[in-house]
Amino acid sequence: MKKRYRSFVFAWQGIRYCFLEGINFRIQLCCGAVACMLGLLLHLSGSEWLPILICIAAVLSLEMINTAIEHLCNMIHPGTHNTIKIIKDVAAGAVLVTAIISVVIAAIIFIPKILSIGII
């Protein structure tokens, strides 16, 4: 039990690090919070909440993985290196692709609801 608790503490430290040190993580977290507030305001159904929450989790998780990859790359090769640049760019690209798809999914869910209540 103690080992599992320590694992949880270490994981929480990783989340805390990303929140405190990662501007992109904080921006993405704010976007997720806005999506949740909009979802509450628009009374999303369970089937509408599911993709929204999965997208939020995917973007935040990938941002954390991207941060870990960047730190590992910087430790392995602190200077400029073409292969390290490709690794970092691909990891960042994965976050971007997921964020773009998340925006599309949010638009598919939110826009009809917003139009139906006449906000726009």
Domain parsing of the chain, residue ranges: 2-117
Inter-residue contact 87 to 62 (CB < 8 Å): no
| The total number of residues written for the chain in this structure | 120
Considering 21, 48, 63, 70, which one is annotated as catalytic? 63
For residues 81 and 19, give the distance between their C-alpha atoms in angstroms, rounded to a whole number: 28
Catalytic residue at 63?
yes
**Tens of pLDDT along 48-107?**
999 999 999 999 999 999 999 999 999 999 889 999 999 999 999 999 999 999 999 999
**Tens of pLDDT along 16-60?**
999 999 999 999 999 999 999 999 999 999 999 999 999 999 999
The CATH-assigned architecture of domain 2-117 is Orthogonal Bundle (1.10)
